[in-house]
Amino acid sequence: MGLGYIGLPTAIIAAKEGGVDIIGVDINPSVVEQTNAGHLHIIEPGMEEMLQDVVKSGKLRASTTPEVSDAYFMVVPTPFKGNHEPDVSYVEAATRAVLPLLKEGDLYVIESTSPVGTTEQMADIIFSERPELKGKIYIAYCPERVLPGNVIYELVHNDRVIGGLDEASTKKAQEFYAQFVKGTLHPTNARTAEMCKLTENSSRDVQIAFANELSFICDKAGINVWDLINLANKHPRVNILQPGCGVGGHCIAVDPYFITSDFPAESRLISDAREINNYKAFWCVEKVKNAILEFELQHGRKPVVAMMGLAFKPDIDDLRESPAKQITGKVMQSARNAEILVVEPNVKSHDSFTLTDYREAYDKADIVAFLTAHKPFKSLPWREDKVILDFCGIFKK
């Protein structure tokens, strides 16, 4: 249920590597049409060829409605409502869509990132509507752990945490994933599995916040933050991450709120890290705006500004929760005394931005703000004739 950045790759891998007959369900008819035609609607190296293979063999087909199956997987978004409060309505809607189809012996699994207790909440819905299934179906939670751009390898080789509502459900889910996962399948309960996913990404968020906070300090102290971190990491027990223009994506920038929303008094460090990483984007906006004002004062004309990168991390097309996209939008809204060139080499077009080739933008620009460390950007030479704002370490020296 859900053929997005996780659902579609999981469906393809389960069909290709596990030989499982898969029905991929999505409410977007375009996604269903593209999938059945063997066209990948996301960017993931090597996966379109796999999609074509499993569609051609009949192992995978897509539909806008679910059909009677033996196992049902909820892989739908969990957005926010209000003040970063998790919204599990998509999970509930997907659950209700399969509710009439469930039968004795079926496996129901949530993969969507969810607040602690969501699996139990969905089980309550199932058994309130279908009380005859209580004790006769298997219910579990199993979060994904994949890196965009390396999904094919990681879906197969990464360890998985699998938490059932009872031991039998855990074992049933393990049996399913064992068909295509070569990593270790770690059994636990549903609440621990839900919390494990949130903990992993909150931990990363806190570590990135430390690096971003260092970048504020070093900017004020006149220290090269990249050199500093490189030297500090020579210590055998220190491993500081790299700063950036914030934190984006569907996991690290989102999952901590699932904890802080439910446990506000107990999650002060996690909450502070979120604030630091959110603030970094606003800090970058101010840096660009100040550079534009200084240029205009010094040269008596409006500068050309290149905003380099929209994706939330290097070498992908995913713009979800992207601080680079947010920064670019804010600069375009406020900096009317500049010509803004927007660059994203991994996207062909965008509804809100006119995109420019990265080489052309770099050549034309007076001010260059590097927001995402895409590989093509690293081939560009340092230019003394430009104001370079390197927020992601393209020129670390």
User: pLDDT tens for residues 43-85?
Assistant: 888 999 999 999 999 999 999 999 999 999 999 999 888 778 8
Give the residues across from 141 on adjacent strands.
110, 163
Q: Is the pLDDT of residue 148 over 80?
A: no
Q: What number is the average pLDDT over the span 129-140?
A: 97
Residues near 371 by beta carbon (within 8 Å), at least 6 away in sequence = 245, 284, 307, 308, 309, 310, 323, 324, 327, 328, 391, 392
Please give the structure tokens belonging to residue 74. 């909820």
Q: Which one has a higher pLDDT value, 154 or 147? A: 154
Predicted pLDDT at 250? 75
Predicted pLDDT at 102? 98
Give the residues across from 164 on adjacent strands.
140, 189
Predicted pLDDT at 76? 95
Note if 16 is an active site residue: no
Residue identified by tokens 């630091």 is 276
Predicted pLDDT at 272? 98
Q: Single out the residue of 252, 242, 144 nearest to residue 202, CA to CA.
A: 252
Predicted pLDDT at 385? 95
Distance from C-alpha of 397 to C-alpha of 389, rounded to nearest angstrom: 13
Distance from C-alpha of 211 to C-alpha of 5, rounded to nearest angstrom: 28
The 387-390 sheet, strands edge to edge: 339-343, 304-308, 367-370, 387-390
Give the residues across from 24 on adjacent strands.
62
Predicted pLDDT at 105? 98
Predicted pLDDT at 214? 98
Residue identified by tokens 């606003």 is 282
**Average pLDDT of the chain?**
95
**CA angle, 99 as apex, 96 and 102 as ends, to 5°?**
155
Q: Is the pLDDT of residue 192 over 90?
A: yes
Note if 284 is an active site residue: no
- The confidence band for 396, taking pLDDT boundaries of 50, 70 and 90, is confident
Phi and psi at 316, nearest 5°, equal -135, 170
Q: Is the pLDDT of residue 384 over 80?
A: yes
Q: What number is the average pLDDT over the span 122-130?
A: 98
Distance from C-alpha of 217 to C-alpha of 225, rounded to nearest angstrom: 9
Q: Is the pLDDT of residue 336 over 90?
A: no
Q: What number is the average pLDDT over the span 359-388?
A: 97
Beta strands 85-86 and 80-81 are: antiparallel
DSSP assignment of 191-205: HHHHHHHHHHHHHHH
- The confidence band for 144, taking pLDDT boundaries of 50, 70 and 90, is confident
Q: What number is the average pLDDT over the span 87-102?
A: 97
Question: Active-site residue among 172, 197, 280, 313?
Answer: 197
Q: How far are the Cα atoms of 226, 228, 236 from residue 233, in angstroms, in the given order?
A: 11, 9, 7
Q: What number is the average pLDDT over the span 96-115?
A: 97
Question: Active-site residue among 142, 245, 251, 392?
Answer: 251
- The confidence band for 175, taking pLDDT boundaries of 50, 70 and 90, is very high
Q: Is the pLDDT of residue 42 over 80?
A: yes
Q: What number is the average pLDDT over the span 195-205?
A: 96
Q: Whole-model pTM above 0.85?
A: yes
Predicted pLDDT at 354? 93
Distance from C-alpha of 361 to C-alpha of 359, rounded to nearest angstrom: 5
Q: Is the pLDDT of residue 294 over 80?
A: yes
Q: Single out the residue of 62, 70, 113, 69 nearest to residue 91, CA to CA.
A: 113
Dihedral angle over CA of 203, 205, 207, 208, nearest 10: 160
Please give the structure tokens belonging to residue 311. 């994706």
Please say whether the dihedral angle defined by the alpha carbons of residues 309, 114, 187 and 23, taken in this order, is positive or negative: negative
Predicted pLDDT at 183? 96
Other CB atoms within 10 A of residue 273 CB: 25
Task: Tell me if residue 291 falls in helix, strand or coil.
Answer: helix
Predicted pLDDT at 345? 95
Predicted pLDDT at 149? 78
User: pLDDT (tens digit, 9 = 90+) per residue, 210-261?
Assistant: 999 999 999 999 999 999 999 999 999 999 999 999 998 878 888 999 999 9
Q: What number is the average pLDDT over the span 163-171?
A: 98
